Each structure stands twice: as C-alpha cells, then as structure tokens.
Amino acid sequence: MSDLGPPALLDGAGRVALIAGAAGGIGRATVALFRRAGVAVAGFDRVSAGTDFDILGDASREADLAAAVETTLSRFGRIDHAIALVGATGAGTLDETSADEWHRLLEINLTASALLARAAHRALKATAGSLVLASSTNGRNGGSSLSGPAYAVAKGGILTLTRYLAKEWATDRVRVNCIAPGPVATPMLHRLAPATLDALRGAIPLGRFAEPREIAAVLAFLCSDHAASITGACINVSGGLVLD
C-alpha cells in the first residue's frame, strides 16, 4: 500500500492536538500524519514519542493526565483535538483474570479516556474542538480470550462514553467520536503465536491487518472540518471483521 501522505482534508494550520498514547504503533503514525498536516502535536506517554512537545506520564494516574492538559495549554495556548490512544490487552477467561488485572485494564482502557476527557473539556470548549477515543472490535462483538474479558468490557464502555459525551458536550460545540479498529499491524500483535495470527488474519474478509497509518487517516478525518456534523459516531476500521 502506498503512503497515504498528508491528509488534504485536515488543515492543521494553527491547530494543536494532545495525543495520549503517542508512543504506541497507532500513536506514532497519528503523530506523524498530524504533524505533516501542520498540526502542533503534544504527545503524552511513558516514553518520548518524538512529537513537537513530549509529556511523560502514566495514563492510569489522574494527576498525570490533568498535568498533560495544563502543560499543553502552557506551551501552545490551546487544544483543538484530544485523542486517547492509550491501551493494553489482557488474555484468558474471566476465571483466569485476577481482580487486580481487571482493575488495571479498565483503568488503562476506559478510565484513562474519561479522565483525559474531563481534563480537556474546558480547553476543547474554548476552541469548539473534538475528542476522539479508541474502542475496538472487541467492544462491539464481545471479544474473546485472545484479549480477555476486561479489555472487551472496557472497549465496550468507550462506545457508551463516546455517545454520552457527544450528547453532553453538544451545546459546547465539542464533537466526540471514537474508532473501532480490528487487528492492526503494531507490536501489540507480537504476543500472539504465528498460528493464531494466521487464523486471525483469515477471519478478516479483506484478508489483512490494518496498517497504523490507515487508522491515523481516520482520526485525521474525524478531527477535520469535513466531519463537522459527525458526533457520537464509532468508525469501524476492521476490514469487515465486524459489519455494521
């Protein structure tokens, strides 16, 4: 697949994006695409993501997320787009998932997004900006033991959080949407055995895993003025693994 290049639909001049989970596979692709579109990017993660302005922190800590918002505002003066790409998978059945693991995965995959949204609300209201969250096919079809029950439940919660905030923030002119990727060709898949990967790829009607830059392009569209009437939506990017 050829490089998608800068998305002409996203005019990033003067815009600022705060991307949580910027050092992950999808995060780095999103950072690169947004910067090529002219967006000033603040990246939040445990390690540097090579953004215009890196902020190191732990997404499971409310204070770190709130500080990331305030630090971005101090550096750039505004936030037009807040994007939550923080995530971690589990594995196994409910019986095999400890209470500590359950809480950890819900904190990272669901609570962190809610806390980022709350921290960024005032800034997004000031710019009539947009919030984009990351769900998953697991949140739409119930998931499986490949990623475990807590991951599926958390990603299902992202769908409801998106719809809730889309309604609550509509009068503030803040749009809230989410993406629901299927398997994406990132290091997160490296934990799976080759036979499992082959079976997973075979279950996708298009016969391949999505590339991170494809997910980044969908995020760019949702943040663009061309999506000005889209809020409360969940964009399915699964190669047909889930059909709307």
The residues annotated with a catalytic role in the active site are: 151
| 93-116 per-residue burial string, b: 16 or more CB within 10 A, e: under 16 | eeeebeeebbeebbbbbbbbbbbb
Query: Which DSSP symbol is given to 225?
Result: G
Q: Return all residues near 115 (Cβ < 8 A) that are at least 6 apart.
A: 62, 65, 66
How far apart (Å, rounded) are the C-alpha atoms in residues 79 and 70?
A: 10
| Residue pair 81/18 in contact by the 8 Å Cβ criterion | yes
Dihedrals φ, ψ of 240, to 5°? Answer: 95, 0
Is the separation of the CB atoms in 157 and 147 below 8 Å?
Answer: no
| 3-state DSSP assignment of residue 205 | coil
- Residue 184: its H or E element: none
